[in-house]
């Protein structure tokens, strides 16, 4: 898949596309879990926990939402980078990460599943360091805390 990527601020009209992209992407990454059953939970979390506090930037390719990043600039917490599976390996994730760094120039903190070696390598390649172990507050799954500080 190709085409120019455009980054822009999230608008409420993007909600359905963003939630479907989240569902589709996570289902691809974790096929043993039923993310269809989690859409209502995710929509509630999106509306109550992310949209009110996070800067959300979406990536569009040929007018289609192909990724997004959510970052709370007050806490420096990067909650989500999601890229459509058909764009994995493109530079969309890097563009979204660079935008998160621009929005939160002091630094970024995130949690990443310990078994997500691809994501861990991506973050390390782009300046994040291991900052300890934790557990996902929702799933209880072991995660790495990672941080990036602007030096």
Q: List pLDDT tens digits, range 79-125.
A: 999 999 999 889 999 999 999 999 999 999 999 989 889 899 999 99
Rounded distance, CA 68 to CA 70, Å?
7
Helix (H, G, I), strand (E, B) or coil at 42: helix
Quick one: pLDDT at residue 106?
Answer: 96
Rounded distance, CA 61 to CA 108, Å?
26
* Average pLDDT over every residue of 65-91: 95
Return the minimum-mean-pLDDT range out of 5-9, 26-30, 74-78, 116-120.
26-30
Rounded distance, CA 146 to CA 51, Å?
23
Rounded distance, CA 103 to CA 55, Å?
8
* Average pLDDT over every residue of 115-141: 91
Q: Identify the CATH number of the domain in which residue 22 sits.
A: 3.40.630.30
Residue 1 has pLDDT above 60, yes or no: no
Provide the domain count of the chain.
1
* Average pLDDT over every residue of 126-142: 89
The residue assigned the tokens 């997500």 is 116
Rounded distance, CA 14 to CA 6, Å?
14
pTM for this predicted structure? 0.91
User: Per the structure block, which two tokens stand in for 71?
Assistant: 């970052």
Quick one: pLDDT at residue 28?
Answer: 72
Residue 14: give the domain boundaries: 5-149
């Amino acid at each position: 898949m190709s085409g120019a990527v455009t980054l822009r601020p999230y608008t409420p009209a993007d909600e359905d596309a963003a939630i479907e992209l989240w569902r589709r992407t996570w289902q691809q990454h974790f096929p043993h879990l039923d993310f269809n059953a989690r859409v209502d939970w995710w929509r509630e979390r999106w509306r109550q926990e992310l949209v009110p506090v996070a800067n959300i930037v979406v990536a569009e390719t040929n007018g289609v939402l192909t990724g997004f990043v959510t970052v709370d600039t007050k806490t420096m917490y990067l909650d989500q980078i999601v890229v459509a599976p058909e764009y994995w390996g493109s530079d969309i994730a890097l563009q979204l990460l660079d935008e998160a760094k621009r929005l939160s120039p002091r630094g970024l903190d995130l949690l990443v599943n310990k078994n997500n070696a691809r994501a861990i390598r991506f973050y390390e390649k782009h300046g994040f360091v291991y900052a300890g172990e934790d557990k996902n507050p929702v799933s209880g799954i072991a995660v790495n805390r990672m941080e990036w500080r602007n030096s």
